[in-house]
Every structure is written in C-alpha cells, then in structure tokens.
Amino acid sequence: MGGFLFDDIIFGPVKSRRLGVSLGVNLLPTDYKFCTFDCIYCECGWSQKATKKIKLPTRGEIYNRLQSVLIQRKNDSQPIDSITFAGNGEPTLHPDFVGIIDDTIQLRNTYFPNAVITVLSNASLIHNQKIIGALLKVDKNILKLDAGSEGTFQKINQPNGNLKLAQVVDYLKKFNGKLIVQALFVQGFNQHSGIDNTSSSEVEAWIELLKEVKPQCVMLYPIERETPENSIRKVDALTLNKIAEQVEKAGFKTEVFS
C-alpha cells in the first residue's frame, strides 16, 4: 500500500524524465497528505480525515528555504532545470499560492533564470480566478485529466465534495490552451468495481474532452510506484502508445512516459 510523504518544504532535486533536474517544492504538511482528490494511484497514500489542525508552511518559510537551496546550488555550480510544485497533495490549496508563485518567479530570475517553473495540479480549484492567473504565469502548467466519463472520474480520482468531471473540463477551458494535460492510465478494480480508462469507449470520450480543452501537449503515464489501491495494475507501453497515436491523430502533441 502506497504512503510515501515528502519530509521537507524543498526536496530533491530528482532526475525527472519530463523535467530534467527538478527541484521540488512542497507547500503542504510534511507529515500529512492534504488534497482535494483521493486518487487510487497516489504515491502519498489515501487521504485521511484531519484529527488535528493542519499546519502549512508560511509564505516566508517557503521563500527563505527555497532561496537558501538556490543560493547553495548556485555557489556549488549545480544548476537545475525546473522548480516543481508537487508534494503531499494539491499545491493550490495553500492560501498564499498566488504570492508564492510570484516569489518563486523572482527567485528563479535571480539565481537560475534558465530554469522553468512547473506546477502539477489536479485542476480542482481553478474556478478561482487568482489561481488561474498564477498558473498562467508559470512555464509549465500541468493539469490532471484522467477520465473521459463521470463514472471513471469518480472511481479513479475520488474527488472531495460534489465535484464533477464536466466542472473540471470547464475549469481547464479557462486557460485557452495554455496548459499541459497529464493523464495516468490504470486497469484493475476498486472496491470490487472494474476500472479501465484505456478502453476504446473511455479513450474516445477522453479525446473528445481534449478537443474542448485544446492543451499545448498531452502527457501519458502508467503507474510507477506502489499505490494505495493494490488491485490496480500498470498499463503496458504498447497500450499507452496506441492511445498516444489516437491523441496525435486528434491534433495534439503527445509524450508517453512508460
């Protein structure tokens, strides 16, 4: 059962297939997953009900920690390719997310102006115009879209509250194409219910949603690490490449990470 948590505000850097040397930023608690989704494949494990007040790092703490790491890497001649917002849940949940993005742009420009700023988000909070504005400032605005149908969306992503797939698509359309869609494909079961977002009908429905969103690029993934739902399995490279061919035929640049 998955359950890995990042234990610091700044982590890595790691060698990422899509982002190069990626320095991670975790805006969330170091001992608790804090998210609006409870995805069956999440490396951080299942979301849990809060038993205590969740303490987030302050904007000042994040600034100081990031600046310290960037200064050290610059002094050591260790460049980075990306400053990547990921971590223990959904980064846009931080109440100072907008200001933190502005701070990060300033720090990036000062220490590593050739690095890109990347945000990995599940797109659940981009009804907020200020969050949209912040994401439009970053170099790689990577947003999740794993399903083509409501039923599969609910099974895979298990969003909090009453969030529907159609709402997520409407949110994504607000970027007018300035976004990258990330999709993770899985097969298996969840609570004895079959899950497969690689089926012909599901992929066709998903591509129709891509046509509405019009992303700059689509990234396709299988699961890579241990997952909280242990009955799902990794999708093979052949299946992912076939899906990628369909996406490309629909007119979208596609990257497969199998």
pLDDT in 10s for each residue of the chain, 258 residues: 456 677 799 999 998 888 999 999 999 998 888 999 999 998 888 877 666 678 899 999 999 999 999 999 999 999 999 999 998 999 999 999 999 999 999 999 999 999 999 999 999 999 999 999 999 999 999 999 999 999 999 999 999 989 999 999 999 999 999 999 999 999 987 666 788 999 999 999 999 999 999 999 999 999 988 887 888 899 999 999 999 999 999 999 999 998
Distance CA(244)–CA(142), nearest Å, equals 17
104 contacts 83 by C-beta, under 8 angstroms: yes
| Model pLDDT, residue 224 | 86
What's the pTM value of the predicted model, to 2 decimals? Answer: 0.93
* Domain hosting residue 210, numbered range: 10-48+55-256
Residue 1 lies in a domain: no
Residue 5 lies in a domain: no
Residue 74 lies in a domain: yes
What strands, in cross-sheet order, belong to the sheet with 20-25?
A: 10-16, 20-25, 82-85, 116-121, 140-144, 180-184, 217-221, 254-256
Residue 233 lies in a domain: yes
Residue 2 lies in a domain: no
192's CB contacts (< 8 A; 6+ apart) are: none
Overall number of domains in the chain: 1
| Model pLDDT, residue 141 | 98
Supply 246's token pair.
């369909």
| Model pLDDT, residue 1 | 47
Distance CA(90)–CA(26), nearest Å, equals 9
Distances (CA, A) of 7 to 36, 87, 93, 187: 20, 9, 18, 30
Residue 15 lies in a domain: yes
| Model pLDDT, residue 139 | 98
> How many other CB atoms are there within 10 angstroms of residue 149's CB atom?
16
Residue 149 lies in a domain: yes
Residue 43 lies in a domain: yes
* CATH number of the domain bearing residue 166: 3.20.20.70
